[in-house]
Structure 1
Amino acid sequence: MEKDGRRHVVWCLNGKNYASWKFGMKLALQSVELWEVVNGTQRQPAERRNADQVIENAADITNWNKRNTTAMQNIFGAIKEDQSRILMSCSTAQEMWMKLETEYEEDAADNAPLLWTKFYGCTFRPSQSVSSFLTELEQIAFRLKSLNIAIDDNQIMAKILMSLPPEFRVFAFAWDSTPVAEKTLKKLTTRLIALDKSLRNDEEAKSTSDTAYLSKPNRDESQHKEQALPAQYGQNKGKSHPSSQHAELNAVNTNAGVREKEKKRTEKGSVTIDMTEEMINYVSSQEQLADALTKPLAAPRFKYLRDKIGVRGVGEV
Structure 2
Amino acid sequence: MWTKLSNIHEQKTASNKFLLMQNFHEYRMDQNASISQHVAKVENMARQLKDLGEAVSNVAVMAKILGSLPSKYSSLLTAWHSVASDQQTLDNLYQRLLKEECRLGSNDDVTNALATMTMKQKAPTKSDDTKNQHQRKDIECNYCHKKGHIIKNFRKRISANNRKNNDSGDASALLAVDCKGNSWISE
Q: Give the TM-score normalised by structure 1.
A: 0.36
Contact 1:157/1:185, CA 8 A, preserved across alignment: yes
The offset of 1:149, in angstroms, is 2.0
Give % identity: 26
Contact 2:46/2:56, CA 8 A, preserved across alignment: yes
Output the CA distance in 1 between the equivalents of 2:147 and 2:16. 83
Residues 146-155 or 125-134, more deviating: 125-134
The offset of 1:130, in angstroms, is 2.3
Q: Is 1:206 paired with 2:124?
A: no
Q: Secondary structure at the match of 2:32?
A: coil
Q: Is 1:256 paired with 2:147?
A: yes
| 1:196 alignment partner in structure 2 | 101
Output the CA distance in 2 between the equivalents of 1:176 and 1:215. 42
- If asked which structure has higher relative contact order (CA below 8 Å, sep 6+), I would say 2
Output the CA distance in 2 between the equivalents of 1:164 and 1:154. 16
Output the CA distance in 1 between the equivalents of 2:76 and 2:95. 13
**Alignment match of 1:183 (pick from 42, 63, 88):** 88
| 2:72 alignment partner in structure 1 | 167
Q: Give the TM-score normalised by structure 2.
A: 0.57
Output the CA distance in 2 between the equivalents of 1:121 and 1:152. 17
After superposition, the Cα gap between the structure-2 partners of 1:202 and 1:127, relative to the gap in structure 1 and judged at 3 Å, is: same
| 2:18 alignment partner in structure 1 | 113
RMSD: 3.6
Residues 155-164 or 178-187, more deviating: 155-164
Output the CA distance in 1 between the equivalents of 2:15 and 2:110. 49
Which residue type is aligned with residue 256 of structure 1? K
Output the CA distance in 2 between the equivalents of 1:149 and 1:189. 23
Output the CA distance in 1 between the equivalents of 2:39 and 2:86. 22
Which residue type is aligned with residue 189 of structure 1? Y
The offset of 1:252, in angstroms, is 2.0
Output the CA distance in 1 between the equivalents of 2:135 and 2:56. 76
Equivalenced residues, count: 134
Output the CA distance in 1 between the equivalents of 2:135 and 2:77. 62
Q: Is 1:145 paired with 2:50?
A: yes
| 2:63 alignment partner in structure 1 | 158
The offset of 1:249, in angstroms, is 6.2
The offset of 1:105, in angstroms, is 7.3
Runs of 4+ residues deviating >4 angstroms: 247-250
Consecutive unaligned residues of structure 1, counting only runs of 5 or more, are: 1-101, 219-246, 259-273, 277-317
Contact 2:136/2:148, CA 8 A, preserved across alignment: no
Output the CA distance in 2 between the equivalents of 1:122 and 1:214. 36
Output the CA distance in 2 between the equivalents of 1:257 and 1:116. 73
Q: Secondary structure at the match of 1:149?
A: coil
The offset of 1:189, in angstroms, is 1.7
Structure 1 residues 50-61: aligned runs within 5 Å? none
The offset of 1:163, in angstroms, is 1.6
Name which one, 1 or 2, has greater alpha-carbon Rg: 1
Contact 1:105/1:147, CA 8 A, preserved across alignment: no
Output the CA distance in 1 between the equivalents of 2:9 and 2:138. 82
Which residue type is aligned with residue 145 of structure 1? K
CA deviation profile, 1:245-281 (whole Å, cap 9, x unmatched): xx856632486369xxxxxxxxxxxxxxx987xxxxx
